[in-house]
């Protein structure tokens, strides 16, 4: 199947998706919607779905696009050509001509070469993140992989796809893998709605001069939103402007390709993502591999996992509360490691705002050492498949005051939650839904002196906050506190089922770890 270019199968798929076969400059007219529709049509009609998850399919799209684009750029005419990142300029043609076990072994060898960082080849540092531990899909399904290569990737000139469309297509591909993401609930992975991230990037008043970090970047959506906001100023954004890290190799590889395609970065440039456990060492929020660039902004939606110690923080003598849960640890890690004057927007579940013990210690120190100026209470239902109640804390790292006064003067609370439940199918969150928040926040007023209270926006003096039991930040504006919309009975039931499935998996892992007779 799919033994050559321009086969009947390829023409048929082109007609279904609305993308014409290669011919001259036709790729310049492709849209993100038509591209991603084509990919999913191949997945649904040409692959053995039970043998390949959606997220595994998305990973292979990333591998093949990287190799194909690398080949196209190496074969541009004259001075426009770039040295290939792949082992040779013929890596892609050799891949195209193979099938069966030969294809499997050749692709596995190529992945292994690119996934192994070498000090003498700095041009492969980005590739080493993308291809780390990468493997071709099942050797018994090589005919399907060959079809994907010869019919869906090789016949087209992907470098000619309009700026932004290929990146948007890949981001949508990842978004469509949401069910697979939910299976990673034990690691706390959630997909953040892009419209929300766009609003947060605007609230942070990002400019091309900023340096943005995310120490728990997931698939890189926060960094892409930040990059787009910086680009909106009409000035070129430097490759060192964004940097992310994640402990999950799969998230790192998906984030790497997501950022590469959405920011038009060079494949041989500075890696946008690094594999690391951000919480395990006393270092800056993220260290660059080429040079140390001080971050000016942190934008992070950390894992919302609150049970079981996820990392060893015994070496974090800088932590205010080393035995905190995962989201609280990320909050204090960012607050402690950011340079003075840096801004931050950190997502936090409700438990971080009013939990006792370690959470209370972190809140108190946060108010004392940072200007925690804004709390945005988010609508329920924005994280599909969960009943998580989320918030965003906006703060600025401040220098200690000789007088001992708290760095925070007043915390403004914007309540976008009360009576506001969202779903990504019926009534998804849009940027317009948060336009009132953005207007009240006043990104153009860094001192927040021109803010005015309203029914949804209310300031709390820091003295009152520190006087509250455990310095609780369970705060509301002037809306009725008990009007919480938790969603429809179906939404609640689905969330309960997801939690039970997650608990069942955890108990099964315990059972599997016990020796017979224990």
Residue 96's nearest CA partner among 113, 71, 74, 79 is 71
Assess whether pLDDT exceeds 50 at residue 411. Answer: yes
Residue 2's pLDDT band (cuts 50, 70, 90): very low
pLDDT for residue 240: 85
pLDDT for residue 201: 98
Residue 293's pLDDT band (cuts 50, 70, 90): low
How confident is the model over 227-264, as pLDDT tens digits? 999 999 988 998 889 999 999 999 999 999 999 999 98
Using the CB atoms, write b or e for 253-282: b if 16+ within 10 Å. bbbbbbbbbbbebebbebbbbbbbebbeee
Helix (H, G, I), strand (E, B) or coil at 376: strand
Residue with tokens 């609280």: 328
Where is average pLDDT lowest: 215-219, 357-361, 507-511? 507-511
Write the secondary structure of 268-333 as one string of H (helix), E (strand) and C (coil).
Answer: CCCCCEEECCCCCCCCCCCCCCCCCCCCCEEEECCCCCCCCCCCCCCCCCCCCCCCCCHHHHHHHH
Which range among 35-44, 280-289, 303-312, 498-507 has the greatest average pLDDT? 35-44
Helix (H, G, I), strand (E, B) or coil at 383: coil
How confident is the model over 53-73, as pLDDT tens digits? 999 999 999 999 999 999 999
Residue 48's pLDDT band (cuts 50, 70, 90): confident
Assess whether pLDDT exceeds 50 at residue 20. Answer: no
Instruction: Say what the pTM is.
Output: 0.86
CA dist 399 and 360 (Å) reads 21
Phi and psi at residue 297, to the nearest 5°: -145, 140
Residue with tokens 């590469």: 260
Q: How far apart, in Å, do the first and last CA atoms of the chain sit?
A: 52
Assess whether pLDDT exceeds 60 at residue 33. Answer: yes
Residue 103's nearest CA partner among 34, 150, 65, 44 is 150
pLDDT for residue 286: 62
In the chain, % of residues over pLDDT 90: 65
**Contact (CB, 8 A) for 81 and 74:** yes
Which range among 37-51, 56-70, 263-277, 409-423 has the greatest average pLDDT? 56-70
Domains and CATH numbers, the chain: 8-175 (1.20.1260.30), 178-480+489-500 (3.40.50.150)
DSSP lists the bridge partners of residue 347 as 392
pLDDT for residue 268: 92
Assess whether pLDDT exceeds 60 at residue 45. Answer: yes
How confident is the model over 336-370, as pLDDT tens digits? 999 999 999 999 999 999 999 999 999 999 999 99
Average pLDDT over residues 379-393: 82
Phi and psi at residue 365, to the nearest 5°: -70, -35
119 or 468, greater pLDDT? 468
Phi and psi at residue 466, to the nearest 5°: -70, -20
Using the CB atoms, write b or e for 314-327: b if 16+ within 10 Å. eebeebbbbebbbb
324 or 284, greater pLDDT? 324
CA dist 300 and 242 (Å) reads 12
CA dist 69 and 366 (Å) reads 45
Helix, strand, coil shares, percent, the chain, to 5: 45, 10, 45
Residue 7's pLDDT band (cuts 50, 70, 90): very low
CA dist 151 and 21 (Å) reads 10
Which range among 120-134, 283-297, 372-386 has the greatest average pLDDT? 120-134
Assess whether pLDDT exceeds 50 at residue 398. Answer: yes
How confident is the model over 349-358, as pLDDT tens digits? 999 999 999 9
**Contact (CB, 8 A) for 58 and 130:** no
DSSP lists the bridge partners of residue 275 as 246
pLDDT for residue 285: 55
Q: In what order do the strands lie in the sheet with 370-377?
A: 273-275, 242-246, 212-214, 297-300, 343-349, 390-397, 370-377, 410-415, 457-461
pLDDT for residue 336: 94
Tokens standing for 492?
């609640």
CA dist 228 and 220 (Å) reads 13
**Summary mean pLDDT of the chain:** 85
pLDDT for residue 294: 81
Assess whether pLDDT exceeds 50 at residue 21. Answer: no
CA dist 185 and 177 (Å) reads 13
pLDDT for residue 315: 80
**Torsion over CA of 422, 196, 368 and 403, rounded to 10 degrees?**
-130
Average pLDDT over residues 176-201: 80
pLDDT for residue 415: 95
CB atoms within 10 A of CB 438: 15
**What's 177's DSSP letter?**
T
């Amino acid at each position: 199947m799919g033994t050559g270019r321009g086969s009947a199968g390829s023409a048929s798929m082109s007609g279904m998706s609305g993308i014409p076969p290669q011919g001259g400059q036709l790729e310049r007219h492709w849209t993100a919607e038509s591209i991603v529709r084509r990919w999913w049509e191949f997945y649904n009609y040409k692959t053995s779905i039970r043998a390949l998850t959606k997220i595994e399919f998305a990973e292979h799209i990333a591998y093949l696009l990287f190799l194909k684009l690398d080949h196209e750029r190496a074969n541009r005419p004259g001075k426009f050509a770039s040295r290939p990142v792949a082992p040779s300029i013929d890596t892609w043609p050799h891949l195209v001509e193979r099938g069966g076990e030969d294809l499997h072994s050749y692709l596995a060898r190529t992945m292994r070469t690119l996934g192994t960082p070498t000090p003498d080849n700095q041009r492969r540092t980005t590739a080493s993140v993308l291809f780390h531990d990468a493997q071709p899909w099942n050797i018994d399904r090589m005919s399907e992989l060959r079809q994907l290569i010869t019919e869906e990737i090789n016949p087209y000139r992907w470098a000619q796809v309009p700026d932004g469309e290929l990146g948007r297509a890949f981001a949508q591909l990842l978004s469509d893998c949401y069910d697979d993401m939910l299976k990673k609930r034990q690691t706390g992975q959630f997909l953040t709605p892009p419209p929300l991230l766009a609003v947060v990037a605007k609230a942070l008043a990002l400019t091309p001069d900023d340096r943005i970090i995310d120490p728990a970047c997931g698939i890189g959506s926060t960094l892409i939103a930040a990059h787009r906001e910086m680009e909106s100023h009409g000035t070129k954004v430097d490759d060192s402007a964004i940097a992310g890290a994640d402990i999950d190799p799969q998230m790192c590889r998906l984030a790497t390709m997501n950022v590469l395609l959405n920011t038009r970065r060079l494949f041989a440039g500075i890696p946008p993502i690094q594999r690391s456990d951000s919480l395990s060492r006393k270092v800056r929020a993220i260290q660059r591999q080429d040079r140390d660039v001080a971050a000016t902004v942190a934008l992070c939606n950390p894992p919302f996992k609150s049970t079981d110690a996820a990392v060893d923080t015994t070496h974090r003598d800088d932590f205010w509360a080393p035995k905190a849960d995962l989201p609280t640890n990320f909050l204090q890690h960012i607050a402690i490691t950011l340079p003075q004057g840096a801004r931050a927007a950190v997502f936090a579940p409700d438990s971080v705002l009013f939990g006792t013990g370690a959470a209370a210690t972190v809140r108190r120190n946060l108010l004392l050492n940072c200007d925690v100026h804004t709390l945005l209470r988010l609508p329920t239902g924005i994280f599909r498949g969960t009943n998580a109640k989320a918030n965003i804390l906006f703060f600025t790292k401040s220098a200690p005051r000789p007088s001992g006064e708290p760095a925070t003067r007043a915390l403004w609370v914007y309540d976008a939650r009360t009576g506001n439940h969202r779903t990504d199918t019926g009534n998804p969150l849009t940027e317009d839904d948060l336009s009132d928040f953005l207007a009240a926040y006043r990104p153009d007023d860094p001192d927040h002196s021109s803010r005015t209270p309203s029914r949804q926006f209310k300031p709390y003096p820091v003295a009152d906050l520190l006087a509250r039991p455990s310095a609780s930040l369970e705060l509301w504006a002037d809306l009725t506190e008990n009007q919480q919309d938790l969603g429809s009975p179906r939404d609640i039931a689905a969330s309960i089922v997801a939690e039970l499935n997650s608990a069942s998996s955890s108990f099964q892992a315990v059972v599997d770890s016990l020796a017979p007779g224990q």
